Structure 1
Amino acid sequence: MKKIVIATRKSKLALWQSEYIKAELLKHYPDMVIELKTFSTKADKILDVPLAKIGGKGLFTKELEIALENKEADIAVHSLKDVPVEFEEGFVLAALTKRFDPRDAFLSEKYASITDLPNGAIIGTTSLRRRMELKLLRPDIELKDLRGNINTRIAKLKAGEYDAIILAATGVQKLQIEDEVKYFTPISIDEMIPSMGQATLGIETLDNPELVEILSVLHDKNAEIESTIERSFVHTLEGGCQVPIGVKATILDENSVDVRAIVGMPDGSEYVQEDIKINIDDYKTAGQALAQTFIDQGAKELLERAEKVAFQ
């Protein structure tokens, strides 16, 4: 292949990610022509409704898949956390990049951390997972919806609409805008377990062996191991991208992986949480096995109720 067209969303972060993939490919294939083509997804167009209420799979990916299908583009670059755990026939996840910083981050103009927030402080986030975990850390805080791209969210914080907001650390770091707010503090995974695949980029294509082979230079085995555990955990629980599930696999050494997971109600009133160590050789089955222990503790019923609350 002499030319590759990358389908990407129009946000600054999506463009950064696609430019990053382009640069990485050019390191291996300097003579290749690589172009970016931008598209708007459902999640980009509906900005006044929380994502969980819009519902459906592929809020950030569907339009890019249509572009692949129509041969308008060859590959699509996604944040893996937004990629549904099941692919429609004919599509494949061809490569996963080396993971960036997977943590959530606390941003505020006035307070250095969640602990420092005054009683009843207002935190901006629309993610049901973040809501649940924040309520477990600080039951007294008030949560307020927050949509829009990273720059829009930071502008709302600076305008005084929130005492603090929670974003994925990696997005802020990639755009190099940590200094735009007084306090940018990544939150320890001990305090907030991220969503599946957070800070990993997934490259989607049609099932084309030649293209998959070309993209294999981008693939990171550690990211594959961690995301396989995380995605199979969510898949077994039948949870989508917009449900209160946190799961993070962390490779500790060549033999073992730490896996942390939490499922619960968005208000933190009920939850199931586990932290286990597994043998790295079991990574293909570990997520499913852990999910089964959650199901045995009533996690599926919990998620059904959580979804009903979210859609009200």
Structure 2
Amino acid sequence: MRTLLRIGTRASLLAVTQSTWVKTQIEQAHPGTRVELVKITTKGDRILDVPLAKVGGKGLFVKEIEDALLAGEVDLAVHSMKDVPTELPEGLHIGVIPVRETPYDAFLSKTCTTLADLPQGATIGTSSLRRKSQLMALRPDLDIVDLRGNIDTRLRKLDEGVYDAIILAGAGLRRLHLEHRITALLEPTQMLPAISQGALGIELRQDDTELADGLRFLHHGETAVAVEAERAFLLRLEGGCQVPIAAHATLDSGSVTLTGLIASVDGRQILKEATTGPAEQAARLGAQLAQTLLDRGGKAILDAVYCSASTSPHSPLSA
């Protein structure tokens, strides 16, 4: 292992916390190696006044970091896997996937203990079309409002009473040691998580085999299989992180169970199905489940979502 490694990371508190964890793991495993964080501002970090779904989801939080990786300005990148497009730039790969944090969404409220407890017409904040569509299916009476900004900003708005409740990823709160703010974790039967939510990915140059070997100790096989199944589902749907689709995979005794969902933005159409098969066929299972949902009406739902997005002046589809 070389004596100096540079990690490319977003500058947000959560991204830096995640990258610092990787830095610590590397330095403990390789005492002769010093690791530096290189903070990089991405397009998704710069655009804070427009819902992400109207900007275009693919690569919003990774492109500039990948450019730095390809240019040799950093040696590796640490990403939240839910932000990583299914197709990577030539010359790069996700070489290591560490153990996953909770994939579940977290319900936060100062006044209610569960989503069902919210009074009719209560205001709930989320920046995700996936969450919005499932919330509307569960509680069409709620007032669902866009919520952007870093975690501190979102928590402050909740504390100030701007929202009666908000939905955030449980993994981010736990990594920041803010689990005490979680009122309840939403089970997948209530709200299916984002694809790869809670999982980290370490992106490397494909020709840097020495570094890949040196980081192999961080790789978690079960998490990698689950992520492979979920991302194969995403790839077949050709979706980004800001489309109302979801998937969650679990492993048990060498088998992977994958549940997938396609929803309309208004929550009136929810297609959801599960499949189980050998872990070594995770990618095939993901693709097959996606095709099943497409055939059941998912293609028409997604076509409507993309058509709507193409009419937005902020969408790259309209360029």
**TM-score per shorter chain, which class?**
over 0.9
2:288 corresponding residue in structure 1: 289
- TM-score w.r.t. length of structure 2: 0.94
1:235, distance to aligned residue in structure 2 (A)? 0.2
The answer for the alignment partner of 1:205 in structure 2 is 204
Matched with 1:50 is 51
Q: CA shift at 1:176, angstroms?
A: 1.3
d(CA) in 2 for partners of 1:284, 1:145: 33
What does residue 12 of structure 2 align with?
Answer: 11
Q: Whole-Å Cα distance in 2 between the matches of residues 118 and 68 of structure 1?
A: 48
Determine the C-alpha separation between the residues in 2 that align with 1:283 and 1:152.
Answer: 38
Partner AA of 1:8 in structure 2: T
- Aligned residue in 1 for 2:135: 134
- Give the alignment of 1:197-236 within 5 angstroms: 197-207=196-206, 208-236=208-236
What 5-or-longer segments of structure 1 have no aligned partner?
none
Question: Identical aligned pairs, as a percentage?
Answer: 43
**Alignment of structure 1 residues 131-280 onto 2, 5 Å:** 131-179=132-180, 181=181, 184-207=183-206, 208-251=208-251, 253-280=252-279
Relative distance call for 1:286 and 1:17 in structure 2 (3 A) is same
SS in 1 for 2:73: coil
Shift of residue 308 of structure 1? 3.4
On the 8 A contact 1:8/1:77 being kept in 2, the answer is: yes
Q: Secondary structure at the match of 1:298?
A: helix
Classify 1:121/1:307 alpha carbon distance in 2 versus 1 (closer, same or farther; 3 Å). Answer: farther
- Tell me which residue corresponds to 1:25: 26
**How many residues align structurally?**
309
Q: 2 CA distance for matches of 1:234 and 1:46?
A: 24
Give the superposition deviation at 1:276. 2.4
How far the C-alpha of 1:260 sits from its partner, in A, is: 1.0
Q: Which amino acid aligns with 2:212?
A: V
**In the alignment, is the contact (CA less than 8 A) between 1:39 and 1:64 conserved in 2?**
yes
Matched-pair contact (CA < 8 Å) for 1:57–1:84: yes
Report the aligned-residue RMSD.
1.3
* Residue identity opposite 1:260 in structure 2: T
Find the counterpart in structure 1 of residue 315 from structure 2: none
Indicate the residue corresponding to 2:94 in structure 1: 93
1:277 alignment partner AA: T
Aligned partners of 1:237, 1:64: CA distance in 2, in Å?
Answer: 25
Please tell me whether the aligned partners of residues 57 and 241 of structure 2 are also in contact (alpha carbons under 8 angstroms): no
CA contact (8 A) 2:276 2:285 kept: no
Letter matched to residue 219 of structure 2: H
Which residue identity lines up with residue 265 of structure 1 in the other structure?
Answer: S
Alignment-mate amino acid for residue 222 of structure 1:
E
Question: Is the Cα contact below 8 Å between 2:260 and 2:272 reproduced in 1?
Answer: yes
- Residue of structure 2 in register with 1:72 after alignment: 73
Deviation at 1:306, TM superposition (A): 2.0
CA distance in 1 between counterparts of 2:6 and 2:220 reads 22
Q: Residues of 1 paired with 2:236 and 2:31: CA distance?
A: 41
The C-alpha deviation readout for 1:218-269, integer Å capped at 9, x for no partner, is 1111011100000000100111121101100011x22322211110111101
Tell me, yes or no, if the aligned pair for 1:80 and 1:202 is still in contact at 8 Å: yes
Find the residue that maps to 1:6 and give its secondary structure: strand
Q: Spell out the pairing of 1:111-130 with structure 2 (5 A cutoff).
A: 111-130=112-131
Tell me the TM-score normalized by structure 1.
0.96
User: CA 1:168 to 1:235, structure 2 compared with 1: closer, same or farther past 3 Å?
Assistant: same
Structure 2: distance between partners of 1:307 and 1:144: 21
Q: Residue 259 of structure 1: SS of its match in structure 2?
A: strand
| 1:119–1:140 CA contact under 8 A, matched in 2 | yes
| Distance of 1:115 and 1:308 partners within structure 2 | 33
Q: Match of 1:154, SS?
A: helix
